[in-house]
Structure 1
Amino acid sequence: MFLQQSSRAVRRQWHLYKRLNQAVVCGAYGQHQHPWAKGFHSTRQMRVVKPVLLADIGEGRSSSVCIVECEIIQWFVEPEARVEEFSPLCEVQSDKASVEITSRFSGVVKKLHYEAGDMAKVGKPFVDIDIQGDAKKEDLEALTVPEPSRREEAGASLQLDEELKAGRPSEDQNAAAPAPTEASLIKGNGQARLSKNNGTYGSLATPAVRHLSKELTVDITEIRGTGKDGRVLKEDVYKFAEDRDTSRISSAAGGAAPSNPASPAFSYPQTTADNAQIETPTPLTNVQAQMFKAMTRSLSIPHFIYADEIDFSRLHSLRGRLNATLAKEKGDLAKVSYLPFIIKAVSMALYQYPILNARVDVDSDTDKPNLVMRSQHNIGIAMDTPAGLLVPVLKNVGSMNVYSIAAELARLQSLATTGKLSVLDLSGGTITVSNIGNIGGTYLAPVIVDKAVAILGVGRMREVPGFDDGSDAVVRRQICNFSWSADHRVVDGATMARAAEVVRRLVEQPDQMILHLR
């Protein structure tokens, strides 16, 4: 009897051991765990594949602008590529600027959640990185298996993705294959072997070039890039559009070529037989969407306009002498435009009228408006770029001289042209100067930028006849119109007129600036 009871006890312990062991093994492969195994930690909970979340690239918590999604401009990595900490992963375009996202881990890239051109959600995973670097491809599903409650849903989604990939048309098969990256181009004898610049990783281009491709209705993945590492340049986009339009015109005219093939051909819209109006909805670009939001907020501000004529004759002469000196020195800055003098004059006027450098704020507790005075003169400069209107900011202009202002302007203009302005370059403005005169237009009514109370619009300079000082002789005058807009809730007309008079006097008599330069 004793032996029979002991035998049954041993069998029960053996069965219990087998069940516990099976529960632990099943948990390691993401299968349903037995309730007895809740206290055991399996390999799945110690996962080595880390999903990297797309962080908020806005101005911070103090900013009222919340960026919820960004466009993936280009990838610098591909699956199975080795990355180090702080290595660049991709370039994204937000509503304001393009930002380069770097890796938080060292390891091997396992999955890209988005393709180039997709909109990535902030706070969601956009790339998976194996931080150990030795996880095999077949082990990836076991390491990243979803929770049991969502396993079936994830499996159905994965099967749907497989079906969609398998059902792609034959002409998209080349686009599915990644083009070689900079790391994978050097093979064999160290020679780079470039293939056709198609595919997710082949559409390397700056935001300005991508914007140009959208304007010309060109698929950038179909263009063979001639830049470094297959990067698509503006010339490539123009050439592709020209060849496309040339072939269309040749087909329509029986093979006749356009008379001027060197210039980009016009793309005429299609017309119907009854000449009916055709309306095509077109989504806004990121920059246009941001401008839509900003101008909607700005037009809630009651504006008033103040304009005056400024005589640039003396500044014109002074600028000519300074540029002649810069040409002899052959430094980094070839010449100085009128704009740095205008910006410096505005900064000097702000010391006498600091209300124009303030912003209007509403107390969240008492719901009462108040003025927030700001010590630094961070002057935003409206720039026309290939991506649209951008307003980079010159920080602390009060501590800068005309030459340093000109150098900073050149830096910001270069970054704006190539679409490389950072969020820091575009944030923190206290007052704005918009120089529309370099394009055309004598008068304008500029719109106040949000979180500011004033803006200056500079018109086109023109030569007009005028009387010489102290005589009746008629001489040439360099005249330009300044148009101010101010927030009439806090700035009255007399204050704006006095501040504008200070700017006018400094520009017309630039020698006075020497007394106040720092």
Structure 2
Amino acid sequence: MPTILTLPKIGVNMTEAIIVNWLVNEGDFIKEGQMIMEAETDKATQEIPSTRSGILAKIVSHPGETVQIEAPIAILTEKDEKLPPDFSIDSYRKVPEPGGVERGVMKAESIQKSTHGAEQGGRVKISPVAKKLAKDMNIDYTQITLSKPGARIEKADVLAFTQAMESMREEVPKKPKVTQGPKVAQGPIGQVEQSIIPLRGIRKVIAQRLSESAHTTARAVLFLKTDAGKLISKRESLSQSGKKVSFDALFVSILAKALKEFPQMNSRLDGEYIRLADEINIGVAVDTEKGLIVPVIHKADTKDILTIHRELSEKIERARTGRIPHDDISEGTFTLTNLGMFGIESFIPIINPPECAILALGAITREPVVIDESDTVAVRPMLQMSLVFDHRIVDGAPAARFLNGIKELVENADNL
């Protein structure tokens, strides 16, 4: 019988996506896990995999439409099967009747009744892709129940399990609302013409996450100036040898060293616990046409400056073209943001939840400073840094020591 293909949830915070483009056509045979469409999610424009195999009989969600997770996007059929004339999406039951749980599609009740279904056949079998996805989405894959005992858990099973869990927390409407694409309306308010831009996609997620940060963290900020002379010299030295690197790449390297010395700054609050991150994954805030995106350099403490620069440049390019994969913008543990290129000398950024802190860099300005105990004054390139941290996790004194540790590394950048 025909099968409804629904929009899968591919990120922890994903609730909807804007369809950008279909990568397959009606009549094509598609495989489970095959990338079938491009959609703008809560992070960026990403390719969306199919959770089923079959013939793509009909596309029901089109480019420009905003689709909620679990909403229908297409109809699949078996080979040589035709859609019946009276077939209706609304009459289709995604979840089978009691007595048989279809692979990858489970009722919420089945999850409650079978808490360790995946372990019933002994050792849990799971594909590497599914295991990584489960980790990214903070899912205990041993809770996933399959209809066939001993079967291997696949990516589609993890996605379906997430959808079923969501249905336990909130009522899913029988007819998911699908809204049309972006429209800009103009109308008079008094004597003033105002343009209306829908808050959606990346912009909507930025608004939600930063509002969450502002309302849930105990934000505190420290300011400190540092002499950037040796940092500039280090960059120029690398450039002269044909190894161009950005200031952001240099600072990712500096932060990796500082976070290794001050691990509490590389943590997050989890209920009654403070969890120290196992890895140092540094995100760098990037301005794009669609909004702020934060590519992440994973395990930054294990990489040299040139590797960091190359990875960061590649990820920034993908972010600005809107083709950055989910892995490139996930699992960050600390964020760096820089507005110095705009001449901004200092600013107070918002912490990127659930991280503990964020470091802001301002413009490097030439200022007269006292450089020794004899009160000698010299003009030096000074950089203003702002450290915003969650006071629930870190006190002011250790945060100050961390910031001074960064200052020391900057002023001894020739040793990087």
State the TM-score, normalizing by the size of structure 2.
0.71
Q: C-alpha separation between the residues in 1 aligned to 2:355 and 2:89?
A: 49
Ranges in structure 1 where 5+ consecutive residues have no aligned partner: 1-46, 60-64, 151-212, 219-268, 328-334, 363-368, 514-518
Give the CA deviation at 1:279: 4.3
Q: C-alpha separation between the residues in 2 aligned to 1:325 and 1:145?
A: 66
Instruction: Give 1:125's aligned amino acid.
Output: P
After TM superposition, the structure 1 = structure 2 runs for residues 288-437 of structure 1, keeping only pairs within 5 Å, are 288-300=203-215, 301-326=217-242, 335-362=244-271, 369-437=272-340
Residue 55 of structure 1 corresponds to which residue in structure 2?
Answer: 8
C-alpha contact (below 8 Å) 1:105/1:131 kept by paired residues:
no
Which of residues 363, 367, 387 is equivalent to 1:460? 363
Helix, strand or coil at the partner of 1:424: helix
Give the CA deviation at 1:145: 6.5
Superposition RMSD in Å = 3.0
Instruction: Give 1:50's aligned amino acid.
Output: T
Residue 175 of structure 2 corresponds to which residue in structure 1?
Answer: none
Seen in structure 2, the aligned counterparts of structure 1 residues 392 and 149 have a Cα distance that, compared at 3 Å, is closer
C-alpha contact (below 8 Å) 1:96/1:287 kept by paired residues:
yes
TM-superposition CA deviations, 1:379-438 (whole Å, max 9, x none)? 111111111011222111111111111111101101111111222222211111111112
Seen in structure 2, the aligned counterparts of structure 1 residues 322 and 95 have a Cα distance that, compared at 3 Å, is same
Residue 65 of structure 2 corresponds to which residue in structure 1?
Answer: 118
Which of residues 198, 203, 207 is equivalent to 1:283? 198
After TM superposition, the structure 1 = structure 2 runs for residues 27-426 of structure 1, keeping only pairs within 5 Å, are 47=1, 49-59=2-12, 65=13, 67-81=14-28, 83=30, 87-103=34-50, 108-132=55-79, 134-135=80-81, 139-141=82-84, 144=87, 276-300=191-215, 301-326=217-242, 335-362=244-271, 369-426=272-329
Aligned residue pairs: how many?
A: 328
Task: Say whether residues 1:482 and 2:385 are aligned partners.
Answer: yes
TM-superposition CA deviations, 1:109-141 (whole Å, max 9, x none)? 211111111122322331123331x34xxx421
Helix, strand or coil at the partner of 1:326: coil
Seen in structure 2, the aligned counterparts of structure 1 residues 382 and 475 have a Cα distance that, compared at 3 Å, is same
Seen in structure 2, the aligned counterparts of structure 1 residues 271 and 99 have a Cα distance that, compared at 3 Å, is closer
Seen in structure 2, the aligned counterparts of structure 1 residues 307 and 395 have a Cα distance that, compared at 3 Å, is same
Question: Normalized per residue, which structure has more helix?
Answer: 1
Question: Normalized per residue, which structure has more strand?
Answer: 2
Seen in structure 2, the aligned counterparts of structure 1 residues 470 and 325 have a Cα distance that, compared at 3 Å, is farther
Instruction: Give 2:401's aligned amino acid.
Output: R
Give the CA deviation at 1:103: 4.0
Q: C-alpha separation between the residues in 2 aligned to 1:148 and 1:101?
A: 25
Q: C-alpha separation between the residues in 2 aligned to 1:498 and 1:512?
A: 20
Q: C-alpha separation between the residues in 2 aligned to 1:448 and 1:280?
A: 30
Q: C-alpha separation between the residues in 2 aligned to 1:431 and 1:88?
A: 31
Give the CA deviation at 1:148: 8.9
Whose relative contact order is higher, 1 or 2, with alpha carbons under 8 Å and at least 6 apart?
2
TM-superposition CA deviations, 1:172-191 (whole Å, max 9, x none)? xxxxxxxxxxxxxxxxxxxx
* Greater Rg by CA: 1
Residue 449 of structure 1 corresponds to which residue in structure 2?
Answer: 352
Give the CA deviation at 1:488: 1.5
Helix, strand or coil at the partner of 2:346: coil
C-alpha contact (below 8 Å) 1:434/1:458 kept by paired residues:
yes
Residue 121 of structure 2 corresponds to which residue in structure 1?
Answer: none
C-alpha contact (below 8 Å) 1:341/1:507 kept by paired residues:
no
Residue 240 of structure 1 corresponds to which residue in structure 2?
Answer: none
Seen in structure 2, the aligned counterparts of structure 1 residues 56 and 337 have a Cα distance that, compared at 3 Å, is same
Instruction: Give 2:287's aligned amino acid.
Output: D
Ranges in structure 2 where 5+ consecutive residues have no aligned partner: 94-180
Q: C-alpha separation between the residues in 2 aligned to 1:358 and 1:507?
A: 23
Helix, strand or coil at the partner of 2:345: coil
Q: C-alpha separation between the residues in 1 aligned to 2:408 and 2:89?
A: 70
State the TM-score, normalizing by the size of structure 1.
0.58
Q: C-alpha separation between the residues in 1 aligned to 2:301 and 2:355?
A: 17
Helix, strand or coil at the partner of 2:347: coil
Greater shift in the superposed pair: 456-465 or 472-481: 472-481
Helix, strand or coil at the partner of 1:284: coil
Residue 501 of structure 1 corresponds to which residue in structure 2?
Answer: 404
Seen in structure 2, the aligned counterparts of structure 1 residues 312 and 145 have a Cα distance that, compared at 3 Å, is closer
Instruction: Give 1:314's aligned amino acid.
Output: K
